[in-house]
Chain A
Amino acid sequence: MPTYGAALLSLSLGLCFLTVVLMGLFVRKGDERYFFVGQRTCLTVCFLVVLATITLLAGLMKSDFNVDYVAKYTSIGTPTIYKFTALWAGQSGSLLFWLFVLSCYVAVVIVQNRNRHEKLMPYVIMTLSVIQGFFLLMVNFVANPFAPVETDFILQDGLGLNPLLQNPTMAIHPPMLYLGYVGFSVPFAFAIAALCSRQLDAVWVRSIRRWTLFTWLALGIGILLGGWWAYNELGWGGYWAWDPVENASFMPWLTGTAFIHSIIIQEKKNMLRVWNMILILVTFLLCIFGTFLTRSGIVSSVHSFTQSSLGPMFFGFVLLILAVSIYLVLSRLDDLKSGKRMESFVSRESGFLFNNVVFVSICFAVLWGTMFPIISEAVTGTQITVGAPFFNQITIPIGLLLLTLSGIGPLLAWRRTSRESLTRNFSIPVLIGLVMAGVVMIAGVRSIYPVMTVALTAFVTSTISTEFWRGITVRRRKFNESSLQALFRMISKNRSRYGGYIVHIGIVFMFVGFIGKAFDKDREWAMSVGDEVRIAGYDIRLTALDEEERSNHYAWIATLDVTKKGETVTSLQPEKRIYFHKNPNPDRRQPHSELSLHSTWREDVYSVFGGIDPEKELLTIKIMVNRLVRFVWLGGYVLLFGTVIALWPDRRGL
């Protein structure tokens, strides 16, 4: 099996190189046969990569410990589902998985566009093949997933998958992120193709709109799932830590969000062509750069793979993309300029443009904060890190600005908005916002950001609902429809617009969740059975401590009865586990805290079993009361729903 897999990978590399050459020949000579062969070699590469992935999967399933990768990430006792997910648990496997996703995308792009975009496709295929080629080089020569085991004895069992990764969310989080990261290759390839062929009108933008939206959604969901996993598994009680690797995935999401807004202007007004080009190039660059950060180990992070020679390779690739992009944009600058003008500051166009500036600013802030340790070390010799407080301080106000724009933008007219429509559209929402701010201030909230967030969420919600309500009213009057009918028809007639509004509502929910953070409470105690503690109005009593031996770990289970004003709320059972407890080598035994939480819309009671002194039967317990966290997840669902509406295939085609 390993020989077969390795052979598939080297064959793919050769064919991939051939594809690039063939496409180059087609562009030079114009003989279509080159193009058709190139298309087929490219499809073949995709097929072979899929085959290689299946081969590795088969090895993982069969526990073929002759393969180094299989032995490192699975053991005989690993449950089948986690043998499957081990595919992306380690360095080389995840590179192959990346390649697998890319190959699936490439195949879809080729099939989808076989009779379209004759001018663009040769360059699209060439660009995608270069990207494929880079990853194929990596898996062939730097991190080969089919490399044989290096030990001089025969392995009976593998090391097994890290227990932290043995979680259902971990089965979907990385693939989702990859769908997102890798997906930006396609818009990138179309952008490069548009530049090369000088077809810089709205065609390329139009053809990748849905791709971009899908990719953006996958990346967003991937990020959210990561947060969900951290919250439900890691036990520090939060979902976002501004960890370098989290930031690395957040940055392309930000520029990608800017891009999906600003291409609307290019589609409608044929403006911002240079800007859109730069945005998508930067987005893809950030995707690769993010991978570089994760793989190189130059920043310290919980996510880091071990340091490897992949770092310099990725860095080289980043530089290559950067150089090619800059050259292409500069040499095509005259073709890119549209000559159209902005007419007024108070217009939909300028709303979008400001939204873009703000998104890019957040991205810049995140990049700066992430890279600062490295930059400061290079300049002053001392590594200066900036933690979560820096990021929060910077991004909260900018985020609120963005929230404001999402309320204002949709109600502005294209080109220019007259004063009378401004007053008509905004007086009521502004009033509602101010009233809400007053209400929460009377309720006793004094800090500035929560009050502002409440006011802004109210403002945005009311502008969006006004849009829906007015649209429904018009349809009811015009077509004599019922409200529900009108709502459905209205949305289906203009899905991208109303889907977009729904996404905005999702973001509003998330902001509600984010303010909850300001009211969180947490404390740690040492407790023995019978002790009772109190936090945020809850009385928490440790009623029992049990021990249990399970298939691959040993567990202490604490039972905490939670009551509020005498009424039982719930019973929490956080655990302290020792994985591989039978292992004779104590260094290989792995302690793990399994948290337990009770969630409501208002707040979550979150308990962590910190540690145990078995002789004294004394436990350390951490209790957190986290407010409004559920709204973040709700926002995620709404975002998903809205994007699916916008993505839903159009009956008219294209």
Chain B
Amino acid sequence: MNKKFAAVIISVALLMMVWVGLGFEGNELPYVTIQDLTTKETVKPGKRFRLGGNVKEGSIIRSETDPLALSFVLLQEEQQLPVSYHKIVPDMFKDGSEVIVEGIFNGERFYADNLMTKCASRYEGDLRKSDTSI
């Protein structure tokens, strides 16, 4: 009985693992660089990607007619990528802030459907830059 039991338990566990493996299908989101987007041929229209970088200073443009519409330029060292976004932006989104965007690339412009800000100073301040000193 114990052997039979072990066999059943192991097969259930294996089944679970297969199930977990299958879950990746269509849910994976590659974290790429701007260079990858423009050079790699795996980039197909409609496939979602995730990119990180900084918001180029002065590049944030809000639409005159639609206050939700927004475009900015994502900066990764020398590489630049224009990004469009049509949702409320997080509180920490501003010039120069570090962001992560998720969305699709149509060959020249990145259409983000999700934008997150990453802020190192969120939990750890830097006293040297503090202006509370005299």
Contacts and interface: CB of A to CB of B under 8 A. Distances in A.
A68, A155, A158, A393: residue with the most chain B Cβ atoms closer than 10 Å: A393
A353 B12 CA distance: 11
B5 A342 contact: yes
A569 interface: no
A610 B2 CA distance: 60
B131 A394 contact: no
A368 interface: yes
A343 B5 CA distance: 9
A300 B100 contact: yes
A372 B57 CA distance: 33
Nearest to B86: A524
B61 interface: no
A584 B100 CA distance: 28
B68 to A, nearest CB: 6
Given A306-B120, A342-B5, A364-B16, A151 B68 contact: no
A613 B36 CA distance: 36
Contacts of B77: none
**Interface majority SS (helix, strand, loop, mixed), chain A:** mixed
Interface stretch (A260-268, A489-497, A555-563, A585-593): A585-593
Contacts of B19: 394, 397-398
A51 to B, nearest CB: 27
A584 B5 CA distance: 70
A526 interface: yes
Given A157-B132, A382-B32, A394 B124 contact: no
B5 A622 contact: no
Interface stretch (A3-11, A251-259, A384-392, A629-637): A384-392
Interface string B43-85: 0000000100000000000100011100000000000000000
B55 to A, nearest CB: 13
> Which has the most chain B C-beta neighbours within 10 Å: A156, A342, A585?
A342
Nearest to B65: A526
A405 B5 CA distance: 17
B5 A159 contact: no
A549 B2 CA distance: 72
Interface string B1-30: 110010011001100110110011001111
A359 B87 CA distance: 37
B87 A524 contact: yes
A387 to B, nearest CB: 6
Contacts of A306: 120, 123-124
A149 B127 contact: yes
A305 interface: yes
A398 B16 contact: yes
Interface string A292-314: 00000000101011100000000
A618 B65 CA distance: 11
A118 B28 CA distance: 53
A345 B8 contact: yes
Contacts of B2: 341-342
A357 B12 contact: yes
B124 A72 contact: yes
A156 B133 contact: yes
Nearest to A343: B1
Chain B binding surface, main DSSP class: mixed
Given A156-B132, A156-B134, A364-B17, A622 B127 contact: no
B29 A384 contact: yes
Interface string A593-611: 1000000000000001011
B23 A394 contact: yes
A514 interface: no
What bracket does the count of chain B residues touching chain A fall in? Answer: 35 or more
Nearest to B50: A385
A382 B132 CA distance: 43
Given A151-B128, A384-B28, A620 B123 contact: no
B107 interface: no
Contacts of A150: 127-128
A292 B17 CA distance: 25
A620 B90 CA distance: 12
Given A159-B125, A384-B28, A583-B131, A357 B87 contact: no
Contacts of A525: 68
A572 to B, nearest CB: 16
B86 to A, nearest CB: 9
Contacts of A156: 132-134
A73 B130 CA distance: 13
A90 B125 CA distance: 10
Interface of B: 1-2, 5, 8-9, 12-13, 16-17, 19-20, 23-24, 27-32, 36, 50, 62, 66-68, 87-89, 91-92, 100, 102, 118, 120, 122-125, 127-128, 130-134
For the complex of A and B, 6 pairs with smallest distance between CB atoms: A610-B88, A361-B16, A383-B31, A390-B27, A526-B67, A159-B125
19 contacts: A71-B127, A72-B124, A90-B123, A154-B133, A300-B118, A341-B2, A354-B12, A357-B12, A360-B13, A361-B16, A368-B20, A384-B28, A384-B30, A385-B50, A525-B68, A583-B131, A590-B92, A616-B67, A620-B67
Given A89-B123, A590-B91, 16 more contacts: A72-B124, A72-B127, A91-B124, A150-B127, A153-B134, A154-B134, A155-B127, A156-B132, A156-B134, A343-B1, A350-B5, A361-B20, A383-B30, A387-B102, A398-B19, A610-B89
Interface of A: 68, 71-73, 75, 89-91, 149-151, 153-159, 162, 164, 300, 302, 304-306, 341-345, 350, 353-354, 357-358, 360-361, 364-365, 368, 372-373, 377, 382-387, 389-390, 393-394, 397-398, 524-526, 583-585, 588, 590-593, 608, 610-611, 613, 616, 618, 620, 622
